[in-house]
Amino acid sequence: MDVVVVESPAKAKTINKYLGKDYKVLASFGHVRDLPAKDGSVLPDDDFSMSWQVDTASAKRVKDIAEAVKSADGLILATDPDREGEAISWHVLDLLQKKKVLKDKPVKRVVFNAITKKAVLDAMANPRDIDEALVNAYLARRALDYLVGFNLSPVLWRKLPGARSAGRVQSVALRLVCDRENEIERFVPEEYWNIVADLKTVRGDAFEARLVQADGKRVQKNSVKNQEQAHRIRDLLEGATYSVASVEAKPVRRNPGPPFTTSTLQQAASSRLGFSASRTMQVAQRLYEGIAIGGETAGLITYMRTDGVSMAPEAVTAARDAIGDQFGTRYLPESARHYSVKAKNAQEAHEAIRPTDFTRTPQSVKKYLDADQFRLYDLVWKRGIASQMASAEMERTTAEITAAKGGESAGLRAVGTVVKFDGFLAAYADNREEKQPSDEDDDDGRLPEINQGENVDKDKIRATQHFTEPPPRYSEASLIKKLEELGIGRPSTYASTLATLRDREYVTIENRKLTPEAKGRLVTAFLENFFNRYVEYDFTAELEEKLDKISDGSLEWKQVLRDFWKDFFAQVEDTKELRVTNVLDALNEALAPLVFPKREDGSDPRTCQVCGTGKLSLKLGKYGAFVGCSNYPECNFTRQLGADAEADAANSNEPNELGTDPETGEPVTLRSGRFGPYVQRGEGKEAKRSSLPKGWKPEDIDLEKALQLLSLPREVGAHPEDGKMITAGLGRYGPFVLHDGTYANVDSIEDVFSVGVNRAVSIIADKRANGGRRRSAPAALKSLGEHPEGGGEVTVNDGRYGPYVKWGKINATIPKGKDPQSITMEEAIPLLAARAEKAGVKKPAKKAAAKKPAAKKTAAKKTTAKSKTASATKKTTASKKTSAEAEKSDS
């Protein structure tokens, strides 16, 4: 019997069925070890030696693999067919060699691009050795990401409080988003006019023609600059006679695009399905690993981490057969289509993403898939089969029309496009799915019959004013496309890079557009001023090229690290001499449009409008940067960085008066401080203050709402059991009710003002009955099944602080941005293991026959174990305290 090691348990189960009883397939659950987030994991002075750490969960899996190998005939490493997969195989092999369980047993490496029986059996028949060049490329990337993250992030913490991390690819992606925002802010709209004539043929058929020539000059989109020019041309056209100067109809062929790569799939899923990059990869992973169809599990798509656009010859043949069967021979080109990659630094070692079986149409498998899986598979299947179909044939008709009035003339053009043969467009239920930016005239439709030399009649002339618009903010799709064009990062890591930017709160995503937060722009400005080389697009792309050369064996990986580290370390050392005032001066200059926007009255935007003499500047506090006055503490004006500063006085600690409290006669004001907007009654240290609750906007606050907030905490009534008062208020963790030291959260701030005694008593009773929780544990959103280690099922739940996975007494938070409904067992297990290790929680025990324990001995062991766990946890916490935010990996 041979032991086969794959990455995921879902894949292991399927592959074991294919291979049979002569093989035992075990899962590594991804990487089995990594560089610990502490100083010394990579030692440049020791020729970049690397110290690896196996976490608790992985140690158990490696032990299981080692035990199985002891009694096996050989080891087959069948992890994913990419650099990360090669690295996992290398790690597993290295650990097994150190355990001395392999001895002289044969070790083989196999890869399969799809989880189908044929693909797996073919791979098993063609083993190879571990690709050392790919492993070296992984080691170089991992070391670089560690060195950048672990050395640059602490610089940010010291010089820029509130900043969380920097990374080799992450910071360059953030710079792209920030540079686009700078473009938008600098953009000055320009006026232009469009002039269109609604015309009719002598037979009464209507069509429209656009102005293309006036005053003997060609008219482009922005040529007509103002109303005067537009009206002069309109007056000419109003009184002109129109004749058709020429009519030309010519055939146009439109070819299909290649099958999907990782990045083009992410782009298409974003623009057409509204999926984030990470969501796309999660769904694609399930389609790749396999879906149960008719009692058998099979992978529906090939491996989803690739930048190749070619399909295997047998897949091309299968696609052509399916085209002939499903669409007819008219849709089949004479010869197969071949594609090449245009993206910078692309490697074509793997196939494109395609269906594993083209006869398995989306509709035929719909009942086995959830909604997201079906939509993504539909996208992949259509793109894959369309890539081998015939071109679409169209006819584009262009009519040139002359407008003459006296000695003046103008030229207009009417364009119509007609699809003569739909070709590959037939693969799409909605042809608009494949519309490309260059096809802007394709929707003009068919022109009526127009003959050269005939006159046409004017119906109406339309002159409309427009203004140029700034470049759009990046979406996830367009940012991925830009990164790929520049050759920055690898397609397989774009999803995690974007997730990191969002989780670090460097960007927000609203309406699928990426907007840099003030914190993100601050970090970018700092890096551009003090680490400019390492956020340059060309430098990052050149480093990416070197890493690719390591992959093909043409460059020595440690030499790349030596060359990088020499200059980078010197730059890091130089920043130790930086004074905070130097940093602030540079940031004040770089971020002036954001920090000190122009004022409507034309006054100096850096002059404090509260005291009138102080100068505004960035300040650094415990929670990050803010804007403050140089006359502090005499002038206590502050403003959050990035807040609307057009009216500093209104948004500052200078009172924005809302009215007078009728009971006390004191003024009630709205202010903005370092931690956000708040209301205040009175002046001085004794003034009553209240922050605005979540969801309340400063512009909506009036005297009535301010007085409501300032009246808190509110007495609800006496508790019927002990007579002690129940109060309701707004605290650090939101709205609450309080009785005898027990706080219980309520659903909204409105409840604070309306909750009665009976409901308050019930809420507090629930909190006490559930060990400090407001309500009993919520029902599970879904069950992931029995944990592989036993101890009960793993469930996905939704709690007060967000979704989490639960196993026994272990609750592990699901990462921000991750859809709880999509999480799988293999994703949940590492989260639970990490949580158990961090909290020192004992894992649920497997069910076993009851035994009579020796009470005293057991108790003593438990006490000793508990003290050891507490000690280990304390040490681990201390060692990780300064490094927790170091960037783990960008790419």
Q: What is the pLDDT of residues 398-410, one digit of tens each?
A: 999 999 998 899 9
pLDDT of residue 213: 94
Distance CA 49, CA 43 (A): 5
pLDDT class of 847 with cuts at 50, 70, 90: low
pLDDT of residue 881: 36
622-627 average pLDDT score: 74
Distance CA 679, CA 668 (A): 7
* Coil vs helix vs strand at 347: coil
Q: Could you read off the pLDDT of 686-725 as tens digits, one per residue? A: 888 888 887 787 878 889 889 999 999 999 999 988 989 9
Residues 6+ apart with CB under 8 A from 527: 166, 171, 175, 534, 535
Q: Is the peptide bond before 633 cis (omega within 30 degrees of 0)?
A: yes
448-472 average pLDDT score: 93
Helix axes 132-159, 83-98, angle to 10 degrees: 100
pLDDT of residue 849: 47
754-764 average pLDDT score: 89
Distance CA 841, CA 832 (A): 10
pLDDT class of 349 with cuts at 50, 70, 90: low
Kindly tell me if the per-residue pLDDT of 76 is higher than 60: yes
pLDDT class of 215 with cuts at 50, 70, 90: confident
Q: Whose CA is closest to 811, among 5, 447, 820?
A: 820
pLDDT class of 683 with cuts at 50, 70, 90: confident
pLDDT of residue 731: 83
pLDDT of residue 240: 93
Kindly tell me if the per-residue pLDDT of 888 is higher than 60: no
Bridge pairing between strands 74-77 and 107-109: parallel
More confident residue, 814 or 842: 814
CB 446 within 8 A of CB 351: no
Distance CA 798, CA 800 (A): 7
Report the first-to-last Cα separation within the chain, whole angstroms: 37
- Residues annotated as part of the active site: 303
Could you tell me what percentage of the chain is helix, strand and coil, using 3-state DSSP and rounding each to the nearest 5? 40, 25, 35
Kindly tell me if the per-residue pLDDT of 435 is higher than 50: no
236-258 average pLDDT score: 94
In this structure, the dihedral spanned by the alpha carbons of residues 512, 513, 518 and 523, taken in order and rounded to 10 degrees, is 100
Distance CA 171, CA 506 (A): 10
Q: How far is CA 855 from the centre of its chain?
A: 53
684 to each of 242, 257, 631, 636, 666, how far by Cα in Å?
Answer: 78, 69, 18, 12, 12
Name all domains of the chain by residue range, CATH numbers in brackets.
Answer: 2-130 (3.40.50.140), 139-187+472-581 (1.10.460.10), 191-255+393-467 (2.70.20.10), 262-390 (1.10.290.10), 590-710 (no CATH), 714-769 (no CATH)
Q: How many CA atoms lie within 13 A of 876 on its CB side?
A: 15
pLDDT class of 173 with cuts at 50, 70, 90: very high
Instruction: Outline where DSSP puts E strands in 361-427.
Output: 392-405, 408-421
Q: Could you read off the pLDDT of 145-156 as tens digits, one per residue? A: 999 988 888 888
Q: Whose CA is closest to 87, among 51, 131, 53?
A: 131
In this structure, the dihedral spanned by the alpha carbons of residues 184, 189, 192 and 193, taken in order and rounded to 10 degrees, is 80
Residue 183 backbone phi and psi in degrees, to 5 = -60, -45
Tokens of 871: 């000690």
Kindly tell me if the per-residue pLDDT of 438 is higher than 50: no
* Coil vs helix vs strand at 430: coil
pTM of the model: 0.70
Kindly tell me if the per-residue pLDDT of 733 is higher than 80: no
Q: How far is CA 400 from the centre of its chain?
A: 48
Tokens 């401080």 sit at which residue?
Answer: 673
More confident residue, 871 or 690: 690
Tokens 């905070």 sit at which residue?
Answer: 580
Bridge pairing between strands 810-813 and 802-807: antiparallel
Kindly tell me if the per-residue pLDDT of 192 is higher than 70: yes
Kindly tell me if the per-residue pLDDT of 771 is higher than 70: no
In this structure, the dihedral spanned by the alpha carbons of residues 65, 69, 74 and 78, taken in order and rounded to 10 degrees, is 0
pLDDT class of 13 with cuts at 50, 70, 90: confident
Residues 6+ apart with CB under 8 A from 790: 844, 845, 846, 847
Kindly tell me if the per-residue pLDDT of 777 is higher than 80: no
Q: Could you read off the pLDDT of 114-158 as tens digits, one per residue? A: 888 899 999 999 999 999 999 999 999 999 999 998 888 888 887
Distance CA 239, CA 204 (A): 19
Percent of the chain with pLDDT over 70: 87
* Coil vs helix vs strand at 60: helix
More confident residue, 180 or 876: 180
pLDDT of residue 678: 85
Q: Could you read off the pLDDT of 354-391 as tens digits, one per residue? A: 999 999 999 999 999 999 999 999 999 999 999 999 99
Percent of the chain with pLDDT over 90: 44
More confident residue, 624 or 432: 624
- What type of residue is 663? E
Q: Could you read off the pLDDT of 637-667 as tens digits, one per residue? A: 888 776 544 444 444 445 678 888 888 888 8
pLDDT of residue 839: 65
DSSP letter at 599 equals: P
pLDDT of residue 813: 86
More confident residue, 773 or 77: 77
Distance CA 89, CA 85 (A): 6
18-45 average pLDDT score: 90
Helix axes 313-326, 371-386, angle to 10 degrees: 100
